Amino acid sequence: MKVKICGITNIEDALLCCEYGADAVGFIFYEKSKRHVSFDQAELISKQLPPFIFKVGVFVNEVAEKVNRAAKQIGLNAIQLHGDELPEYIERINYPVIKSFRIDETFDWKTIDTFENCDILFDTFSSDQMGGTGKSFDWNLIPEKLRSRVILSGGITIDKLDFIFSEIKPAAIDLSSSLESLPGKKDIQKVIEFLKLFNELRSNQC
């Protein structure tokens, strides 16, 4: 299982996550997000990261050509889409894509079958936010056949790690707000404690 820490806005937080074993960091380019960063800011941070850290850019209903240009400028490894993007849009992206789906009790799981050209991420549905709600949906809703390939997001906290490792067993987890002292700024102690426990559970899984 991999872990991505999203909502990175500064080099100190990025390096902290890398030091304690995060596999990936995420930059949010959605202007309405409290954790929004510019392409130039992300580029400055990206250039100072260790060579093997995975860098992901989060976009919402952005023009595909702009996404590709930004990814090249910043040095992104993958694109995470949190809007209403369709499979044909994904074909126009020059980088590996993670497509987010916002889940509630009414979600049509057959929708996933039409997205064969990307990885998938499940987040919590909100009527007024595209992501970053800090709330979890009922993870037991996830069909068994999807669990091992999904990236799980939404309301992931340190006290839920045991359940995630023992019951859901996703390919990766993605979190942001539960490790913050305020939007866009990570809490050092929370990051350290979370990643230490995550990596302990991961090592026991091997």
Two tokens at 130? 């595209």
In this structure, the strands spanning 172-175 and 150-153 are: parallel
Q: Can 17 be counted among the known catalytic residues?
A: no
- Which member of 6, 17, 18, 118 is catalytic? 6
Of 188, 62, 58, the closest CA to residue 123 belongs to 58
- Which member of 13, 18, 118, 123 is catalytic? 123
Q: How far is CA 200 from the centre of its chain?
A: 21
Q: Can 6 be counted among the known catalytic residues?
A: yes
Q: What is the amino acid identity at position 39?
A: F
Q: Are 30 and 60 in contact (CB under 8 A)?
A: yes
**Angstrom distance (rounded) from CA 76 to CA 56:** 6
Annotated catalytic residues are 6, 123
